[in-house]
Amino acid sequence: SPDASPTRVDALVVGAGISGIHQLWELRGKGLRTVLLEAGSGVGGVWFWNRYPGARFDSESYTYGYFFSPEILEEWTWSEEYAGQPETERYLNFVADRLDLRKDMRFDARVVSAHWQEDERVWEVTTATGEVYLTTYLVTALGILSKPAFPRVPGLEDFQGEWHHTGTWPVADVDVRGKRVAVIGTGSSGVQVIPFLAKDAASLTVFQRTANWATPINNFAIDDARAADLRERIQEIYTRTQETPGGAIHAPMTESSLALSDEERRAVWDRLYDAPGMAFVLGNFRDVALSREANGHLTAYLTERIRERVKDPRTAALLTPDDHGFGQKRPPLENGYYEVFNEPHVRLVSTVEDPLVRYTPTGLETAIESHDFDVIVIATGFVAVTGSYESIDIRGTGGRTLQEHWVDGPHTFLGMQAAGFPNLFLVGGPQSSAGIIPRVTETQATWVANCVAHLRDRGLSRIETTEAAEQEWHEHVLSGIEGTLQEDASGWAFGTNVGDGRQRAYLLYAGGQPQYRERIAESAEAGYKGFELS
């Protein structure tokens, strides 16, 4: 009840996703009284909420999971190279149980505010049900893709049918058999869910604003021999993830694609197109990310592949991006996506040609047509990275809100802290992540636990970064995309997908994971340079 006295802890973690779970384990390992609050009713984060059919890793399962625990590595075996959502959710539940983490987790506990109390040097954290926690250290592990973004189309409350956002899919099965189904959005989520909906629906209408450069995932089952081999090589695999920019086993090829002949390039791309996972995306020629000409050759190649797979030339043309190069938006991985559009009951509508106007009681109205649907699936993505922070009233010194601090886009030092917000650590927050997020957040979770132990061991209880340090990091973050095709890219990594007038700001970190790890380690080794300790 709201009158109950606050619970006092040393550290509080928000979020029981893959990062928060690890953070809880690390803090507990330092002997800190730690509690974790989670809005959902179970562990998993992204893998709890995104339970739409077809939701799946597109990084190798074993490079996405945890490496810190020998027990977990020994006792868990992935069944597929790219595990589906149910398996990943099972995995995270297994970890929570195996490491006995559940006893410090509180579910259905949505944090609504966190206010810094300078006098007592505590964060006062309040949940939607009025529970209050006082904590010396606050760690947000909110996930970079957790706050759903909706089309700015009125009338959803009028729609009498069933609707679901892919990012908050219900636990109960959604049965679309024999139903008229709509999907809005063709990013990674749309591209994953569409083939599954097409299989069961009586009709499927896909509303596409922007086509994406999707390439095949080429998933496969992990048999006993491969499982044994992976187990044997796991340290080698881990070392590889620590060396590549994206924390993946794939890394770009340094040779110039422009130095090759058309035939030579095509041979490489044919091979990558048939290779599993992110090989095509992350293992492509480096110059594709730097040179418009190189990128143009690649998109010409992919345009041909789309034409080969989609029978109707007009549909194929609509499915071919005309507004961005390969990699300027995060490319989806697909399994039979393009072939879906050859089926007679599937229709593609471009909302550029025929914009969505409103939801109606029976469906959706576009500028030129009225559509009836039983189910509408909203696959329009997320208010990425900072969106989850906007849902919490976070106030630092002097009552200043984090939203005020970030009004021109996020400002942090090392992606770990914001000036004016002492003892608040961001794990998987802005200006720190890109690539395989758990490979970044594991580094951060360890760093945070070491930092807190460092303070405790010296009788200190306050750490805060400075605006000067933030400024320096800001420049460093921007330098990571300078001279690359990311400079004029758009999409969720820049917040431009939301369409609410927010300023375009780069939300990720493009300097590569090895450099990121180096930077945060350097600061720690220098006694937490860029922070004030007291």
Residues that bind ligand NA7 (CB under 6 A): 145, 151, 166, 184-190, 207, 209-210, 330, 351, 356, 379-382, 491-492, 497
User: Per the structure block, which two tokens stand in for 239?
Assistant: 């070392």
Query: Least CB distance from residue 233 to ligand NA7, whole Å?
Result: 26
Looking at the Cβ atoms of 179 and 330, the one nearer to ligand NA7 is 330
Q: Name the pairing type of β-strands 393-395 and 111-117.
A: parallel
CB of 207 or CB of 531, closer to ligand NA7:
207
57 versus 528: smaller Cβ distance to ligand NA7: 57
CA separation for the pair 488, 471 (Å, rounded): 22
In whole angstroms, give the CA distance from residue 301 to residue 288. 12
**CB-CB contact of 252 with 246 (8 Å):** no
CB of 167 to ligand NA7, least distance (A): 6
Q: Which residue's CB is nearer to ligand NA7, number 39 or number 214?
A: 214
Torsion angles phi and psi, residue 83, rounded to 5:
-70, 145
Question: Quick one: DSSP state of residue 3?
Answer: T
**Measured between alpha carbons, how far is 153 from 159 in angstroms, rounded to an integer?**
12
Quote the CA–CA distance of 217 and 336 in Å, as a whole number.
9
CB of 401 to ligand NA7, least distance (A): 26
416: nearest Cα among 404, 433, 429 = 429
Least distance (Å) from ligand NA7 to the CB of residue 436?
10
Chain residue at closest Cβ approach to ligand NA7: 187
Nearer to ligand NA7, 385 or 448 (CB): 385
* Exposure string for 402-416, b = 16+ CB within 10 A, e = fewer: beebbeebbbbbbbb
Q: Closer to ligand NA7 at the Cβ: 39 or 183? A: 183
Instruction: Provide the terminal-to-terminal Cα distance of the chain, rounded to the nearest Å.
Output: 35
Residue 58 Cβ, how far from ligand NA7 at the closest point, in Å?
A: 8
Minimum CB separation of residue 89 from ligand NA7 in Å reads: 16
DSSP 306-338: HHHH-SSHHHHHHTS-SS--TTSS---EESSHH
Burial of residue 20, with CB atoms counted within 10 A of its CB: 0-12 exposed, 13-18 middle, 19 or more buried: buried
CB of 165: closest distance to ligand NA7 in angstroms?
Answer: 9
Q: Which is nearer to ligand NA7, 494 or 531 (CB)?
A: 494
Nearer to ligand NA7, 151 or 161 (CB): 151
Residue 252 CB contacts under 8 Å (≥ 6 apart), including other chains = 245, 282, 283, 284, 285, 286, 289
* List of residues 6+ apart from 361 with CB closer than 8 A: 158, 159, 160
- Minimum CB distance to ligand NA7 smaller for 81 or for 334: 334
- Closer residue to ligand NA7, CB minimum distance, 380 or 412: 380
Segment holding 341, helix H or strand E: none
Question: Minimal distance in Å, beta carbon 31 to ligand NA7?
Answer: 36
**C-beta of 216: minimal distance to ligand NA7 in Å?**
16
Cα–Cα separations (whole angstroms), residue 16 to 85, 285, 343, 357, 486: 16, 37, 40, 37, 31
Q: How far is the CB of 487 from ligand NA7 (least distance, A)?
A: 18
Structure tokens given for 132: 């209050």
